[in-house]
Structure formats: C-alpha cells, structure tokens
C-alpha cells in the first residue's frame, strides 16, 4: 500500500532503493504517529471534517493500535511503504471508509515532522532522566571523597594539588551545562509543525493552535515553509546537544583510563569489571571505559553527518532527508546505554587515598609555598623566583598543607550550589505535563 499510488505499478528495483530501511526505522516512530493522528482527528472533528460519531470510533481503534505498539506486536507489513501507511491501512481494514478520512488536511511530510518532534521530545526526556542519575552519582562521590587529594596536571605535567572531590564534581557541573544545551534543543524541537502539509499549508480550515495544545507543544512553527525546513534542522540541533553530552562522558572515560594505568595508579576497578590479555597474565584492561570513549566519539560525528546531508539543499522537501533517520533515531538508545554503563562503572571505582605520599609529587606544592610567602608580605614575583631557585638547586622542601577556601576550590566544593543549578534546569523540562498529554489523548 502506498498513499500516493495512482494505478501505475512502480519498478521493484526503484521501490527497494527508495524505501531503503524505512520500514525498520519507522518502527521507532510508530507510537508518535498514532498520538499525532489522534490529535489530528480531534482537530478535524472540531472543524467539521469528521462527524462527532466518527471521532470516537477512530480514537478507540487508534488507542488499540497504540497498545499493540507498546507490547511489540506492531509491524510494517511487506508492500506497505512506511508507518503512516501502515496505521492508515489498519484503520481502513478495521473500520472501512472512515479509516480513509484521517489523512485529510495533512501530508506525509508534516506527519513525519510531527512524529519526529514527538519521538525526539520523549527521548530527550529519557536521556535527561538518565543524566540526572549520573549527576547524582558524581555529586555523591565528590562529597564522599572530598578530602582525598590527587595531582592536578597541565600539559600532562604535574601542576597543583587537586582532589577527587574536585574531579568528580567537575564532571557533575559539566553535566549541568550539557543539560542546559539539551533544554535548548528540547524547546526548539517542542514546536508544532502539523498542518504545514507538504510545506505550503492547506485550503482546509485547520486549527493548528488546537493540535499544538493537544500534543503539548510549547508553540507553533507558524510559517508552513519554515515548518518543513525544520526537517533535519531540529535533528541536527538535538544531535549537537547529544554530542556535547557525549563529549563530557568520553572525556571522563579518558581520565579514568589514565588514572587506572600503573603510571598513575589513582584508581582501580574490581577484577570482574576488567578484561585480560591472551599472552600477558598481569593485564587488567579498562575496556568498558575505552568503548565508552569510542562510542561517545562516534556520537560526536552525528551532527557533521546530518549537516553534510542538508548542506546543499534548498527550501522544500527532498528525499535526501530520509537518510538522516538511519543514524538519528538509534542514537538515543546508544547514549542511554553509555550513560547507564558509565554510571554503573564509576560506582565501582576504588580510590587510592595515599597518592601524594609518593615523593615525585612534592612539586605540586610549589605554588602553596609561593602563596604562603606572599601572605607573609613577600611580593609575588620575588616569591616565585625564590621558590624556582630552590627547585633548580634541589633545596625545595614544601609544606604539604593546603588552605583553599574560595568558591569551587578543594576546601569549598559548592556542590549544593551546583545541585541547585542542575535542578533548576531539570524541572524546566516539565516531564509531568508530557505524561499527562499522552494520557489525555489515549483516553
């Protein structure tokens, strides 16, 4: 079944190439397609394009299809082009002529647009939930290990004292900014394109404000041409936010790989969470962190891929955009898996609590000695030169005491303030509203 068929059969080679992986990819969008259709038919009834008797019949059957999707019993049958066609086919098969009326006032173009917006919204919410769990773990670990020092590095050279409290807390606060970017993508995504049809509107008296409210969108994409131009653009913006999150987690994984190596020896993992070598019996490899890093790097390539597909397209719809689905739709599952395994792994990290007892780290405290001299009235530059001379001549004997009290330093992590900042962004996603919207549509 093809919604555009006019009696002339299409060459099988052409059909196979143009459909591509759509049947597989569109399963990601199935529940969103049903919800978008329910909102659309409620609107159609309100403007007289469906009768008050037809609406409840269609709503009931669409709810039944939604339940099939939720339990995994929905499939796109051979010969049916996409999820939109499958849903309409099921409605027509079960309800007859009334099933054919659901497409009035829309095109597959705006149908897939709204499906993608709903799918993206749901999946951003799921990612945000997982980020919240990882954030809480990092904050808790920061508080737990706030008094255990480790070396800080610049240029991979020993620099100044740091702490596990600072290190864990740094990645927690990084997630705060990642969440802010996800919120921006969420808000850009959460605008209603339904009613733009093929990109030029409709002569039907559609009520696009009503479908906006029914689907829980914050706003409309008002201009119908721009609504169509949003295909790919929203995916690119969202993928950039996901790539930014992946960058944070991948960088954390790199730190953990370094810290676990014998040359550092800052942390260890239980043996059952490491892998070995086929010839070196001593090896305990941090493969999970390495794979986290690689998968995060792969996600960071996604915005570039989408941009390359969109880069030379004029306004209007083009089939090129179909290709974005293949990388974009599965990425949410990939980032979810990464976040969950990262959270599991950091909860098992064992911290070395006597790292700085090794004499090679004594130069970490050179700045402390300089600052102590300044506090005694010595000009900073003179104190700097004096300590530098002591180091050069081998006469440097540091004090191992540190006294960092300003905001965000070793002795004043400001984790409560970081939590407040994170939570303020987190609640802005208004997740309860989205759950309520679905319940209302499926009643």
CA end-to-end distance (rounded Å), the chain: 29
Q: Per the structure block, which two tokens stand in for 62? A: 């669409």
Q: Are 95 and 61 in contact (CB under 8 A)?
A: yes
Distance CA 219, CA 123 (A): 19
The domain locations on the chain are: 12-103, 108-204+221-357+410-442, 366-399
Q: Per the structure block, which two tokens stand in for 201? A: 């509107």
Distance CA 280, CA 282 (A): 6
Q: Per the structure block, which two tokens stand in for 442? A: 């499926």
Which pLDDT score, from 0 to 100, does residue 196 have? 96
Distance CA 12, CA 14 (A): 5
pLDDT digits (tens), the chain, 443 positions: 455 455 566 667 766 676 667 778 899 999 999 999 999 999 999 999 999 999 999 999 999 999 999 999 999 998 888 999 999 999 999 999 999 999 999 999 999 999 999 999 999 999 999 999 999 999 999 999 999 999 999 999 999 999 999 999 999 999 999 999 999 999 999 999 999 999 999 999 999 999 999 999 999 999 999 999 999 999 999 999 999 999 999 999 999 999 999 999 999 999 898 888 778 888 888 999 999 999 999 999 999 999 999 988 899 888 888 889 999 999 999 999 999 999 999 999 999 999 999 999 999 999 888 988 899 999 999 999 989 998 899 888 887 888 888 999 999 999 999 999 999 999 999 999 999 999 999 98
Q: In the block, which residue shows the tokens 């064992």?
A: 350
In angstroms, how far is CA 40 from the centroid of its own chain?
28
Distance CA 262, CA 264 (A): 5
- At the topology level of CATH, where does 108-204+221-357+410-442 sit? Fumarase C; Chain A, domain 2 (1.20.200)
Distance CA 171, CA 253 (A): 11
Which pLDDT score, from 0 to 100, does residue 180 have? 98
Look up the pTM and report it. Answer: 0.92
SS3 readout for the chain: CCCCCCCCCCCHHHHHHHHCCHHHHHHHHHHHHHHHHHHHHHHHHHCCCCCCCHHHHHHHHHHHHHHHHHCCCCCCCCCCCCHHHHHHHHHHHHHHHHHHHHHCCCCHHHHHHHHHHHHHHHHHHHHHHHHHHHHHHHHHHHHHCCCCEEEEEECCEEEEEEEHHHHHHHHHHHHHHHHHHHHHHHHHHCEECCCCCCCCCCCCCCCHHHHHHHCCCCEECCCHHHHHHHHHHHHHHHHHHHHHHHHHHHHHHHHHHHHHCCCCCCEECCHHHCECCCCCCCCCECHHHHHHHHHHHHHHCHHHHHHHHHCCCCCCCCHHHHHHHHHHHHHHHHHHHHHHHHHHHHHCCEECCCHHHCHHHHHHHHHHHHHHHHHCCCCHHHHHHHHHHHHHHCCCCCCCCCCCCCCCECCECCHHHHHHHHHHHHHCCCHHHHHHHHHHHHC
Q: In the block, which residue shows the tokens 């942390």?
A: 267
Distance CA 128, CA 289 (A): 21
Closest CA to 433 of 216, 187, 218: 216
Q: How many CB atoms lie within 10 A of CB 283?
A: 11
Which pLDDT score, from 0 to 100, does residue 14 have? 66
- Answer CATH for 12-103 from 1.10.275.10, 1.10.287.890, 1.10.357.10, 1.10.260.30: 1.10.275.10
Which pLDDT score, from 0 to 100, does residue 18 have? 65
Which pLDDT score, from 0 to 100, does residue 19 have? 67
């Amino acid at each position: 079944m093809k919604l555009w068929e006019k009696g002339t059969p299409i060459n099988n080679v052409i059909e196979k190439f143009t459909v591509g992986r759509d049947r597989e990819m569109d399963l990601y969008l199935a529940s969103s397609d049903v919800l978008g259709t329910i909102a659309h038919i409620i609107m159609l009834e309100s403007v007289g394009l469906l009768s008050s008797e037809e609406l409840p019949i269609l709503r009931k059957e669409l709810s039944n299809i939604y339940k099939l999707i939720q339990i995994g019993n929905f499939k796109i049958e051979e010969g049916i082009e996409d999820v939109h066609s499958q849903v309409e086919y099921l409605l027509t098969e079960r309800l007859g002529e009334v099933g054919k009326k659901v497409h009035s006032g829309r095109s597959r173009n705006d149908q897939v647009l709204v499906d993608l917006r709903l799918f993206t919204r749901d999946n951003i919410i799921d990612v945000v939930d997982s980020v919240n769990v990882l954030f809480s773990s990092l904050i808790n670990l920061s508080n737990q290990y706030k008094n255990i020092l480790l070396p800080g590095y610049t240029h991979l050279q020993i620099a100044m004292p740091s702490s596990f409290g600072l290190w864990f807390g740094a990645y927690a606060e990084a997630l705060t900014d990642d969440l802010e970017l996800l919120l921006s993508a969420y808000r850009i995504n959460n605008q209603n394109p339904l009613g733009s049809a093929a990109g030029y509107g409709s002569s039907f008296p559609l009520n696009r404000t009503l479908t906006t409210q029914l689907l829980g969108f914050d706003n409309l994409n008002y201009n119908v041409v721009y609504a169509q131009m949003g295909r790919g653009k929203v995916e690119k913006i969202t993928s950039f936010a996901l790539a930014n999150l992946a960058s944070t987690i991948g960088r954390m994984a790199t730190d953990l790989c370094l810290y676990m190596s014998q040359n550092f020896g800052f942390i260890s993992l239980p043996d059952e969470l490491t892998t070995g070598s086929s010839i070196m019996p001593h090896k305990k490899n941090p493969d999970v962190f390495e794979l986290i890093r690689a998968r995060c790097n792969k996600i960071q390539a996604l915005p570039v891929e989408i941009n390359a597909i969109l880069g030379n397209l004029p306004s209007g719809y083009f089939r090129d955009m179909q290709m974005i689905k293949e990388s974009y739709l599965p990425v949410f599952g990939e980032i979810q898996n990464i976040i969950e395994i990262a959270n599991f792994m950091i909860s098992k990290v064992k911290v070395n609590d006597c790292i700085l007892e090794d004499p090679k780290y004594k130069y970490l405290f050179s700045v402390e000695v300089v600052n102590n001299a300044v506090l005694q009235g010595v000009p900073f530059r003179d104190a700097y030169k004096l300590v530098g001379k002591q180091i050069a001549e081998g006469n440097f004997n540091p004090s191992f005491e540190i006294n960092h009290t300003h905001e965000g330093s070793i002795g004043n992590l400001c984790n409560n303030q970081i939590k407040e900042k994170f939570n303020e962004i987190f609640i802005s996603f208004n997740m309860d509203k989205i759950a309520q919207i679905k319940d209302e549509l499926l009643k």
